[in-house]
Amino acid sequence: MSSVASEAAAEGFLTRFGSKPEGVWSAPGRVNLIGEHTDYNEGFVLPFAINRRTFAALGLRTDGIARVASSFTDEVVEIELAKISNQSVAGWSGYPLGVAWALIQAGAKPQGFDLFVDSNVPVGAGLSSSAAIECSVALGLNDLWGSGLAKSALAKIGQRAENEIVGAPTGIMDQTASLFGVLDHVVFLDCRSLVAEAIPLGLKRAGLEIVVMDTKVSHRLVDGGYAARRAACESGARELGVSSLRDLETADLNRAKQLLDPVVFKRVSHVVTENARVVETVQLLKDSGPLAIGAQLYASHESMRDDFEISIEELDCAVEVSLSSGAIGARMTGGGFGGAAIALIETSKIAALEEAVAKEFADLGFAKPELFSVFADDGARRES
Ligand code: GLA
């Protein structure tokens, strides 16, 4: 099945490299419904793949060289595969080249390649444009190099590229959502066992949509905030004598409060209560459908705002305006410090929401936000 977008990627490849690609692979961005900063604490997450995708057109070369190009810059980065390291690559090419590197580390038999990337996943909005690049390229190189790795292994390849070549200490959620997404389902992932279960979301039947509200405040996971939160979680776990915060229940928080520094306690408290909210949300979706999960979404936002302290004024504003516009629930989504919030809302209320958010942002002197609906889509696949 080849779409217009996948043909555009093949066309871009032809223009840049003068030949047709051997195939086009695509992978989606993701929205996290709930379960934030729980993945690297071996907890629970509930993301879904969205109907915004990255397309990777690939062709093999015989000289051990990788050339990467994209529709968003004129630059073509060229490097010998054997020379890829966190010192030798910088910028966006670190994602695809990092994937090639991680596949080689995992024992793949590498061959040079040309790559052209085209994408409609917004960058810096917290919708995992980076995981979409990683997963489309990982799937493509896995096929062309005959590596035969399963999707769960490819998720780890993407994460390793991001951790070790790009230098962002992120967890496994984004790559899993991008690879394992299922139309109209959320992906319930246990980040300890890495067992993923697709749970029906049922938005259409309930007359609901999920609106992404991109604040246009760009978030960067290589900046210090994300790593600092991760370090606080690790120190909290160490002081409480557990291997990860996954091992704590809400009943343990009293003891944690006595033992921990107040800031570390707040970080721990977010993770422990967030894990509980993910489990509750899954149960509510199964029992009653998406109309029932509003309180969990907002409680998650409050916890990120007050305890994990990763929200910003623009995200708080988008969430509050959503609720006063009649949303079932709303929360910031993704790593934080910028990016997007989501509102779960009846279709008939979206126009009023858009107007109210635009007005409030303008009144407060914030950048003009961008709002668009997304649906839960299928994960990464070969397009042609
Ligand atoms: C980013 C990271 C994920 C996850 C989220 C926060 O998206 O890439 O691994 O930690 O932040 O939930």
pLDDT digits (tens, 9 = 90+) for 4-44: 999 999 999 999 999 999 999 999 999 999 999 999 999 99
Give me the CATH number covering residue 163. Answer: 3.30.230.10
Are 19 and 135 in a shared domain?
Answer: yes
Whether 275 contacts 35, CB under 8 Å: yes
* Sign, CA torsion 377/101/154/138: positive
Q: How confident is the model at residue 220 (pLDDT cuts 50, 70, 90)?
A: confident
The predicted model gives 287-316 an average pLDDT of 98
Burial 271-296 (b: 16+ CB within 10 A, else e): bbbbbebbbbbbebbeeebbebbbeb
Distant-in-sequence, close-in-space partners of 278: CB < 8 Å, separation ≥ 6: 34, 35, 38, 43, 44, 45, 46, 188
pLDDT of residue 223: 72
Please give the Cα distance from 332 to 338 (Å, whole number): 9
Are 247 and 178 in a shared domain?
Answer: no
In a domain, 383, yes or no: no
Are 359 and 310 in a shared domain?
Answer: yes
| 62 Cα: distance to centroid of ligand 1 (angstroms) | 37
Model confidence at 1: pLDDT above 60 = no
Question: Which of 169, 198, 227 corresponds to the end of one domain?
Answer: 198
Please give the Cα distance from 251 to 288 (Å, whole number): 27
Q: How far is CA 191 from CA 34, 48, 128, 238, in A?
A: 14, 15, 18, 19
Are 194 and 205 in a shared domain?
Answer: no
In a domain, 379, yes or no: no
The predicted model gives 149-173 an average pLDDT of 97
Q: Whose Cα sits closest to atom 1 in ligand 1?
A: 335
Are 45 and 182 in a shared domain?
Answer: yes
Model confidence at 219: pLDDT above 90 = no
Are 151 and 14 in a shared domain?
Answer: yes
**Average pLDDT score over the chain:** 97
Catalytic residue among 39, 114, 118, 174: 174
Question: Which of 198, 219, 243 corresponds to the end of one domain?
Answer: 198
| 248 Cα: distance to centroid of ligand 1 (angstroms) | 20
pLDDT digits (tens, 9 = 90+) for 230-258: 999 999 999 999 999 999 999 999 999 99
In a domain, 338, yes or no: yes
In a domain, 349, yes or no: yes
pLDDT of residue 334: 96
Are 234 and 304 in a shared domain?
Answer: yes
What is the percent of the chain where pLDDT is above 90? 97
Give me the CATH number covering residue 276. Answer: 3.30.70.890
In a domain, 380, yes or no: no
Are 248 and 298 in a shared domain?
Answer: yes
Cβ count within 10 A of residue 246: 18
Are 271 and 192 in a shared domain?
Answer: no
Is 174 one of the annotated active-site residues of the chain?
yes
pLDDT of residue 222: 63
In a domain, 381, yes or no: no
- Domain extent, residue 244, equals 201-374
Model confidence at 81: pLDDT above 60 = yes
Are 111 and 232 in a shared domain?
Answer: no
pLDDT digits (tens, 9 = 90+) for 327-340: 999 999 999 999 99
Q: What is the count of structural domains for the chain?
A: 2
pLDDT of residue 2: 63
The predicted model gives 150-164 an average pLDDT of 98
Burial 43-57 (b: 16+ CB within 10 A, else e): bbbbbbbbbbbbbbb
Q: Whose Cα sits closest to atom 11 in ligand 1?
A: 335
Are 252 and 141 in a shared domain?
Answer: no
Cα-only R_g, the chain: 21
Q: How confident is the model at residue 224 (pLDDT cuts 50, 70, 90)?
A: confident
Are 155 and 230 in a shared domain?
Answer: no
39: Cβ below 6 Å to ligand 1? yes
In a domain, 382, yes or no: no
Question: Which of 198, 225, 240 corresponds to the end of one domain?
Answer: 198
Model confidence at 170: pLDDT above 90 = yes
What is the atom index within ligand 1 of the atom nearest the CA of 162?
8
The verdict on pTM exceeding 0.95 is yes
pLDDT digits (tens, 9 = 90+) for 178-202: 999 999 999 999 999 999 999 999 9
pLDDT of residue 130: 97
Mean pLDDT lowest for which of 216-230, 253-267, 279-293, 344-358? 216-230
Of the candidates 56, 137, 149, the residue with the CA atom closest to the CA atom of residue 99: 137
Model confidence at 368: pLDDT above 70 = yes
pLDDT digits (tens, 9 = 90+) for 98-130: 999 999 999 999 999 999 999 999 998 999 999
Model confidence at 270: pLDDT above 90 = yes
The predicted model gives 271-275 an average pLDDT of 99
| 311 Cα: distance to centroid of ligand 1 (angstroms) | 14
| 362 Cα: distance to centroid of ligand 1 (angstroms) | 29
Please give the Cα distance from 163 to 170 (Å, whole number): 6
28: Cβ below 6 Å to ligand 1? no
In a domain, 165, yes or no: yes
